[in-house]
């Protein structure tokens, strides 16, 4: 198993079988390093944010180059690629979180479901009913199908181990400092824009795979509603999911006391609890399709 494609596909299989590493997760380790770096570099300016993002993403890329060269020298490139792919993917854990939320809502345990929502997204869960929680989960599963599954695979196929590590670094920094708040409005600007750039192609690849797996209605809604979302990337995937599942996504969301009203996508009813399980199945199918495409093309 000497090629990148074989290693990437093997990494997808490992993620499907094992989920995220339970201990010593390298992404969590990177997050701790990023927190230390933030403490030393933080300042309420874009330039400090550019330095912060450039240093951390560049370091991840440099580590990837070293790992790739050493693994090739010792003839274990495929095996190492499989391990790195497994470490940076989050598709199986995403699906497990979605199913956990579905189970809590099916038991009508709204308190536990609200407490668990933070594992999927940053929305304020207080006051959410079952319908609001169901919509939040379906939208999070849709968006993270790209962020956690397809995008790492795309960058791995394009740039090997450095691409895998750099993409996960970019996405992690966006989750940490890329949202709008008084603290991160300027400092997190570079991380957020870098994440938008890194996900532009993968989000559209993901939407295309949703159409492939979900049918013509996904394509119709994607074409009509994909640009309505404030995010240039999330809207593509959420619109395709809305069409494939026959549901209506979008509406009022609250984040840290800030309220956003997002345009609706799709023509169906608001998502119900059962639609969470359907979204998880579609997400898994899209991830599998991405791995098949990479294996065939490479």
Min mean pLDDT across 17-21, 110-114, 146-150 is at 17-21
User: Shortest CA distance to 228 belongs to which of 259, 207, 249?
Assistant: 249
Q: What is the DSSP track for 27-94?
A: HHHHHHHHHHHHHHH--SSHHHHHHHHHHHHHHHHHHHHHHHHHHHHTT-HHHHHHHHHHHH--HHHH
Q: To the nearest whole percent, how much of the chain has pLDDT over 90? A: 83
For residues 200-206, average pLDDT: 98
Q: Each residue of 204-260: pLDDT tens digit?
A: 999 999 999 999 999 999 999 999 988 889 999 999 999 999 999 998 887 776 777
Rounded CA separation 45/263 (Å): 31
* Cβ(237)–Cβ(142) below 8 Å: yes
The answer for residues whose C-beta is within 8 angstroms of residue 236's C-beta and 6 or more apart is 203, 204, 206, 207, 222, 226, 229
* Cβ(195)–Cβ(178) below 8 Å: yes
Q: Each residue of 84-97: pLDDT tens digit?
A: 999 999 999 999 99
* pLDDT mean across residues, the chain: 94
pLDDT tier for residue 298 given thresholds of 50, 70 and 90: low
What does the domain layout of the chain look like in residue ranges? 4-297
pLDDT tier for residue 1 given thresholds of 50, 70 and 90: very low
Rounded CA separation 138/242 (Å): 9
């Amino acid at each position: 198993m000497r090629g990148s494609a074989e290693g990437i596909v093997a990494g997808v299989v490992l993620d499907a079988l094992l989920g995220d590493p339970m201990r010593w997760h390298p992404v969590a380790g990177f997050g701790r390093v990023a927190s230390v770096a933030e403490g030393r570099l933080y300042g309420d300016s874009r330039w400090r944010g550019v330095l912060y993002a450039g240093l951390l993403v560049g370091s991840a890329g440099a580590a990837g180059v070293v790992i790739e060269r050493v693994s090739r020298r010792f003839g274990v490139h495929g095996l190492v690629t499989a391990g790195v792919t497994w470490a940076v993917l989050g598709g199986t854990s995403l699906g497990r979180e979605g199913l956990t939320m579905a189970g809590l809502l099916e038991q009508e345990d709204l308190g536990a479901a609200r407490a668990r929502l933070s594992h999927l997204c940053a929305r304020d869960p207080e006051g959410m009913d079952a319908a609001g929680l169901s919509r939040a989960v379906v939208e999070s599963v849709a968006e993270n199908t790209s962020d956690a599954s397809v995008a790492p695979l795309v960058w791995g196929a394009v740039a090997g181990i450095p691409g895998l590590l750099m993409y996960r670094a970019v996405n992690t920094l966006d989750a940490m400092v890329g949202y709008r708040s008084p603290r991160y409005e300027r400092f997190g600007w570079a991380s957020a824009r870098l994440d938008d750039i890194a996900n532009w192609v993968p989000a559209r690849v993901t939407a295309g795979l949703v159409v492939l797996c979900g049918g013509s209605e996904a394509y119709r809604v994607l074409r009509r509603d994909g640009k309505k979302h404030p995010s240039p990337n999330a809207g593509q995937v959420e619109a395709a999911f809305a069409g494939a599942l026959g549901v209506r996504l979008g509406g009022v969301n609250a984040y840290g006391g800030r309220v956003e009203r997002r345009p609706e996508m799709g023509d169906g009813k608001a998502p119900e609890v059962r639609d969470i399980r359907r979204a998880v199945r579609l997400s898994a199918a899209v991830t599998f399709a991405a791995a098949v495409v990479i294996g065939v093309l490479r």
